[in-house]
Amino acid sequence: MGNLAIQLENLGKMYHIGHVKAPYRTLRETIIEACTAPARRMRQMFRGTAAGAADLRARFWALKDVSLEIKHGEVVGLIGRNGAGKSTLLKILSRITEPTTGIGCVYGRVGSLLEVGTGFHPELTGRENIFLNGAILGMQKSEIRRKFDQIVEFAEVEKFIDTPVKHYSSGMYLRLAFSVAAHLEPEILLVDEVLAVGDAGFQRKCMNRMQEVGQEGRTVIFVSHNMQAVTRLCDRAILLHEGKVYEDGPARQVVSNYLHSGLGLTCLREWPDINQAPGNEKVRLRAVRVKDEHGELASALDIRRPFYLEVEFDVLQSGTVVYPLLGFENEEGVTLFVTIERDPRWRRKPRPAGRYYSRVHIPGNFFAEGTILCGGALITESPYICHCHEKYLVAFQIVDAPDGSSARGDYGGNMPGVLRPMLDWQVEYLGEPQEAEAPAGQRVQ
């Protein structure tokens, strides 16, 4: 049966998203709808189609006409923007969800790792969770028993193995969870962006482990936003865009095209050709970069450390008053804030023609963890002119520290909020509890 591991033909996946309201409906239609809806829903219930009035919903193709062949032993990186269909493809390959159209064949035992620590229960001990999680990932009991010591050693949690994981620090929890997953040995391994966890040291360890898996001759499909990791681990990369295969080829080439195409948001956006650069006859935007405190391009930033963004633009017509503007948005599409260049030396000053380089410093302990998308514009404030506006220019990832030294402390759960400042708290000790005394209200008289 050849050397094929995965073969897909015209695979598509459609989702219904929300209601699309008809502009108006007559009373008669409303009444008919109200009367027939329960019956239709019952029908849908038995057919197993999505709940609700499906015909009134907008359709969205998360994947469309995807045809692919992947051979055994290939390590393939799946790249593309958020919503390009990468995770949907992994879900179909691992049989979590069914395709809407098309057909596919997978030859070999599939192990999928879409999330670390699936099924971990906070009340169970590390030992119990290893067995549970291993079984959930598809390992046999004997296999888990054989690898148990290796897993514990890899996670560096020997001392706490019989402690309920709810008492673990978030770092320990993630290390244990990843460690179980890292010892999964299927013929075909599907990995979603799970390596962006833990501190830098542990991330390096995970990368090495991934590399080992690839070298063992296993087929690996690896979704990542970390282009460095993709070029390092994969021979081949597939770029998905709006649910379709946009490019498929050697990893280095696909990644490089992706970075320059503007399809993917990364920490770097440049326009080498001035005619394609956003702007007009007065100004053109030439580059936006995200750099860490050492001046290195960085797509993942430590939540505790400051970093900066730089904007390069050309003023083509001398005498133009112009300021770059940057706007920040989180993954949910919430605008966090907008900032406009405020260097006093250039306030309200007509600028001579030439290249300008502005940079804005962002303090540490400021953004909450997650992906931050950044858009920008070149504007003149008064009279207001928008020379160019790009909704999205660059993106970066804020990674929280698992060792308790960030605003999160040792709390490992979900921490809400769009910002995560480290604020100054002060505590005073007010002495021993005074139980014997009368309640405060009575003492006052």
Partner 1 sequence: MAQTAMGRELSSAAAAESLQPERTSLRRMTLLRPSKGWSALKLAEVWEYRELLYFLTWRDILVRYKQTVLGAAWAILQPLLAMVIFTIFFGRLAKIPSGGVPYSLFSYAGLVLWMFFANGLSQGANSLITNPELVKKVYFPRLVLPTATVLSGLVDFLLAFLLLIGMMFWQQQVPSVNLIWAPVFILLALVTCLGVTYWMSAMNVMFRDVRYTIPFITQLWMFGSPIVYPSTMVPEQLRALYGLNPMVGVVEGFRWAVLGTPRPELAVLAVSMLAAFLLLVGGMYYFRRVEKVFADLV
At which residue do the structure tokens 């830098």 appear?
A: 200
Strands (E), 169-322: 188-191, 219-223, 236-241, 244-250, 268-270, 283-292, 300-302, 307-315
Instruction: Identify which range of 135-143, 235-243, 316-324, 386-394 contacts partner 1 by CB under 8 A.
Output: 135-143
Give me the DSSP letters along 325-340. Answer: EEEEEETT--EEEEEE
The answer to whether 84 and 237 have CB atoms below 8 angstroms apart is no
Q: Measure the CA–CA gap between 164 and 145, rounded to whole angstroms.
A: 19
The answer to whether 306 and 293 have CB atoms below 8 angstroms apart is yes
- Residue placing its CB nearer to partner 1 in the complex, 85 or 324: 85
Nearest distance in Å: CB 287, partner 1: 38
Interface residues for partner 1 in 371-390 (CB under 8 A)?
Answer: none
| Tally of CB atoms within 10 A around 277 | 18
Position 45 contacts partner 1 (CB under 8 A): yes
Interface residues for partner 1 in 281-320 (CB under 8 A)?
Answer: none
Binding string, 90-119, against partner 1, x = CB under 8 A?
-xxxxxxxxxxxxxxxxxxxx-x-xx--xx
Sheet architecture: strand order including 354-362: 268-270, 283-292, 307-315, 354-362
Sheet architecture: strand order including 110-113: 110-113, 188-191, 219-223, 75-79, 236-241, 244-250
The answer to whether 194 and 111 have CB atoms below 8 angstroms apart is no
**Given candidates 141, 145, 159, 204, which one binds partner 1 under the rule CB under 8 A?**
141
**Given candidates 30, 36, 140, 335, which one binds partner 1 under the rule CB under 8 A?**
140
Position 261 contacts partner 1 (CB under 8 A): no
Interface residues for partner 1 in 142-201 (CB under 8 A)?
Answer: 187
Nearest distance in Å: CB 124, partner 1: 6
Nearest distance in Å: CB 331, partner 1: 18
The answer to whether 94 and 110 have CB atoms below 8 angstroms apart is yes
- CA-wise closest residue to 138 among 178, 193, 185: 185
Binding string, 72-91, against partner 1, x = CB under 8 A?
-------------------x
Position 58 contacts partner 1 (CB under 8 A): no
Position 15 contacts partner 1 (CB under 8 A): yes
Nearest distance in Å: CB 123, partner 1: 4
Binding site for partner 1 (CB under 8 A): 1-2, 4, 7-9, 11, 15, 41, 44-51, 67, 91-110, 112, 114-115, 118-119, 121, 123-124, 128, 131-132, 135-138, 140-141, 187
